[in-house]
Structure 1
Amino acid sequence: MICALTSALCFGAASVLQAMAARAVEPGTNGGVDVALMWRALRQWRYLAGLGMDGLGFVLQVVALRTLPIYVVGAALAASLAVTAVIASRVLRVRLSRIEWTAVAVVCTGLAMLALASGSEGHREGSAALRWSLLGASFGVLLLGVLAGRLPERPRALVLGLGAGFGFGVVEVAVRLIDGIDLTDPVWYALLVGGGSAFLLLTSAFQRGSVTTATAGAVLGETVGPAIVGVAWLGDSTRDGLGWLAITGFALAVAASLVLARFGEAPAPPGAVPSS
């Protein structure tokens, strides 16, 4: 649980750095999958610093996913928005309202409930169908990004954010399914394609639409689906008689995180035109 929460700390700080970098570079095409935009963002020190924190967060996430049910780790990662809110209140001097401070407290309460109710990590290996489906889902994330690029500006950020969340969700499930280095296992390719696609879509969402909306979509995409897969196919469970507590804690943590989604929003660079 310490690894999951520290991972959330890393991801929360990284999201602000990456959003600031994405909005500081020249826009590229209007597509949802824009490799050139990603390349320009990589030249920004904030983006590189954010990637470094993402790397550390990912290592900690792997440790957490190998020892905790996916639904617990997913809720902890959603709580990265609470971390971002607290950082923003200190570093960026963003003032939190009473509702937002309450949401931070609710996130912490939900995580505490999950910690009390979570049972053992499931030990099912996952069927071949699940592994190949995961690879298919990773390419589906890319397709979703291409389609999102054709949408009007308002819904584009939400769809790109959801797509990025699905990509990160693929990574979460893939980490659980990996058992040693086997290049014939489709899970390895699902991990690479899903993670890479998620970064592409999220970078596009940060620049071209409301980052608040994109962040909310990403939270939903990376928490709900993997949690269902973990319980239904991988054997994740709760302690006897505490299933209701785990469901309530999960719902509270995710819902309160969505209240804090605006803290994925980076300040626009001087002279920039605010996006809608």
Structure 2
Amino acid sequence: MYFGMFCAVASSVCYGLATVFQAIAARSVADPDATSGVDAALLLRAVRQWRYVAGLALDGAGFALQVVALRLIPIYAVSAALAASLAVTAVAATRLLSVRLSRVEWTAVGVVCLGLAMLGLASGPEGSTPPPPALKWALLGTALVVLLIGAAAGRLPGRSRALALGLGAGIGFGVPEVAVRLLDSLDFSSPALYAVVLGGASAFLLLTSAFARGSVTTATAGLVLSETLLPSAVGVVWLGDRPREGLAWLAVTGFAISVAGALALARFGELPTPETQRPPEGPVP
């Protein structure tokens, strides 16, 4: 159990650092004279930077650690740990991108750490309840619904669109979290395998659209809520995820404050550019 929590936190660290490395690489090759918000050659230039490649490697390592964690501990613990990657990004950005955190944001980083420590103490092993036979197909169907959410959300205005896209992306990223638990091997006949691929790809598409066309903070808040709450509920209701005997209160409290801390750091869903960085609200420790 402790090893599973270690893998979940290590996965969060990998994802959080990957975001910063990729942001640094992308900015170092961005064309300052570009008149369009879309630079088709940016990716080709970025992959030549060691930081961008390092970020991709960290993403891969993070996913591998996430899979291991999902096979050892409840989904709710892994979900909360992944949301904590925002805290990793925030702290790393202060060192590598000169981003300044407010007093509230530093407090949120501490709250996230406290919540994860509580979850680590309270989490039991992964649930052993046999999943309903239809759950694999339901996950694949959910991944398809995510695309429909994206199409419908594109017609909404402003913050409503960003929130809808963020919620849809969170659902999409949550699909692989559940589907991994249903895969005992690389079974190409299993709909759960295709749910992993389609869910992740759909989520990435929606989240990219949300960041490009709306509020990053609003989209990330929607992402954190749906990516943590919905997969966790599936794990508890259908897969038998439970905390240790007598420690349900600690698990619920740790989960709640971890998610709350991540929400307070929602602006780090996509790192702010130097022009949009806001000043801190109080003295920086």
Counterpart Cα distance in 2 of 1:175 and 1:99? 35
- Tell me if structure 1 keeps the 8 A contact 2:220–2:269: yes
Q: Which residue of 2 aligns with 1:167?
A: 172
The 3-state SS of whatever aligns with 1:128 is coil
With structure 2 as the length reference, what TM-score do the two structures score? 0.84
Query: What are the residue-to-residue correspondences of 1:113-128 with 2, within 5 Å?
Result: 113-128=118-133
2:202 partner amino acid: S
TM-score normalised by length of structure 1: 0.86
1:123-134 alignment runs, 5 A limit: 123-134=128-139
Structure 1: gaps of 5 or more residues: 29-36
Aligned partner of 2:261 in structure 1 is 256
Residue in 1 that maps onto 2:58? 53
Superposition CA RMSD, Å: 2.4
Residue 95 of structure 1: how far off its partner (Å): 1.6
Q: Distance in 2 between matches of 1:93 and 1:269?
A: 9
- Provide the rounded CA distance (Å) in 1 between the counterparts of 2:84 and 2:43: 26
Structure 1 residue matching 2:72: 3-state secondary structure: coil
Does residue 139 (structure 1) correspond to residue 144 (structure 2)? The answer is yes
Structure with higher Rg: it is 2
How far off is 1:154 after superposition? Answer: 2.3
- Residue in structure 1 matched with residue 16 of structure 2 by the alignment: 12
CA distance in 2 between partners of 1:177 and 1:111 (Å): 25
Confirm or deny that 1:191 pairs with 2:204: no
CA–CA separation in structure 2 for the residues paired with 1:59 and 1:265: 23
2:7 to 3, 6, 18: 3
* Of 186-195 and 46-55, the range deviating more from structure 2: 46-55
Aligned to 2:110: 105
Deviation at 1:264, TM superposition (A): 2.3
Identify if the C-alpha distance between structure 1 residues 167 and 153 changes in structure 2 by more than 3 Å, giving closer, same or farther.
Answer: same
Deviations 1:202-234 (A, max 9, x none): 122222222222222111121100111111100
Residues 137/195 of structure 1: CA separation in 2 closer, same or farther (3 Å cut)? same
Unaligned runs of 5+ in 2: 277-285
Which of residues 74, 77, 80 is equivalent to 1:69?
Answer: 74
- Which is further off, 94-103 or 240-249? 94-103
Note if 1:235 corresponds to 2:207. Answer: no
SS in 2 for 1:121: coil
Stretch deviating more after TM superposition (110-119 or 207-216) = 207-216
Counterpart residue identity of residue 211, structure 1: V
Quick one: distance in 2 between partners of 1:47 and 1:136? 33
CA separation in 2, counterparts of 1:175 and 1:117? Answer: 22
Distance 1:19 1:171, change over 3 A: farther
- For residues 50 and 141 of structure 1, the distance between their equivalents in structure 2, rounded to whole angstroms, comes to 26
Aligned length: 261
- Residue in 1 aligned with 2:282? none
Amino acid at match of 1:89: T
CA distance in 1, matches of 2:133, 2:43: 36
- Taking the aligned partners of 2:267 and 2:59, their CA distance within structure 1 comes to 20
| Counterpart residue number, 2:85 | 80
Letter in 2 for 1:10: C
Give how far 1:15 is off.
3.5
Cα distance in structure 1, aligned partners of 2:43 and 2:12:
22
Which whole-Å deviations, capped at 9, do the CAs of 1:140-161 have from their partners, x for residues lacking one? Answer: 1111111111211322222111
Aligned AA for 1:255? Answer: A
1:206 and 1:14, CA in 2 relative to 1: closer, same or farther beyond 3 A? farther
Contact kept, 8 Å, 1:69 with 1:118, in 2: the verdict is: yes
Larger relative contact order (CA 8 Å, sep ≥ 6): 1
2:241 is paired with a residue of what secondary structure?
A: coil
Q: Percent identity?
A: 64
Aligned equivalents of 1:54, 1:205: Cα separation in 2: 21
The farther-off stretch of 153-162 and 11-20 is 11-20
Opposite residue 140 of structure 1, the aligned amino acid is V
Deviation of 1:108 after TM superposition, in Å, equals 0.8
Rounded to whole Å, the distance in 2 between the matches of 1:180 and 1:219 is 29
Q: Tell me the residue number matched to 1:247.
A: 252
Shift of 1:18: 5.7
Deviation at 1:11, TM superposition (A): 1.4
